[in-house]
Structure 1
């Protein structure tokens, strides 16, 4: 018999993950519509420690062979740990997570396409760091971060379109999303994100 798991354990076995079949089936069905150009936006709420992260991790494993699964935990980011969470840092966190997930999935041509985008759109870049051979730009001004934000928010759909022979869709999981509540103009930021999300047919959030 498996030992009883901690309520915060995110690596539960089938026998330890108890009484969540209905929730798993419902969320899986919603996420599965991404394959058919009807991607959902889902907000999962509950008290701390009830098992939200464990539930999502369980669901992610069902899809990570056919979908690009981007996993973001704002509470683990350096920006949050250093009390410097901002709209700009959140965009960078999303960008880094997309790059990491793409590399792990094996989308090897992504680096060339991103570098070409930066050059052709004349970003004022101070330098480009290399993250596992993927270009990560360091910009000269805040104006460029606004342009980067548009690029990052459009990137998941572009990745799908360029790799639709390999992917059924893209999932962006953002854990601890409530941390954005202290941002300046948080409503404006959410509406900004929504303006992209609602037009992406193959990206679920």
Structure 2
């Protein structure tokens, strides 16, 4: 039914449409979910003006006929850091170090804009087709000092958080990056040990 696409035609980027997360819905707090989406849209608007190669890109807002924000059109990435870290064939120790350095650069850029991410995890980092790590999921990103309704956990994605910040802060991001660096190294060593044992 569809014709083959000639090589000379410009291909549109793969996109991901981020919409409201109704799993977070609470009857007593009906405004928090729309506010998360609106906040993320506003952060992406800032990042459109001040981009960084290791931050995800927004292509703009999806607006309904009634003028309401329905979603965000974002570039689509293929794999998370969590997935890559569990595939020894695609992620070595040098790549781990490069990944942490790139994320540090992205966070420093975000901090220079007066913002903090507040939710750094192996699930909020994905990779471009060229293997570059990209920080995403900015719904918990706020100016430093803002009281947080969501986020602020260091290592919460691993179970019990190692630290909990009640306000948006660069300290939260830096502590989370330090934890992520340690987690990557430990995971890499465990994967190598497992491969070595399998070869015996």
TM over 0.5: no
TM-score w.r.t. structure 1 length?
0.25
TM-score w.r.t. structure 2 length?
0.26
Work out which structure has the larger RCO, using CA pairs closer than 8 Å and 6 or more positions apart in sequence: 1
> Going by fraction, where is helix more abundant, 1 or 2?
1
Max Rg structure = 2
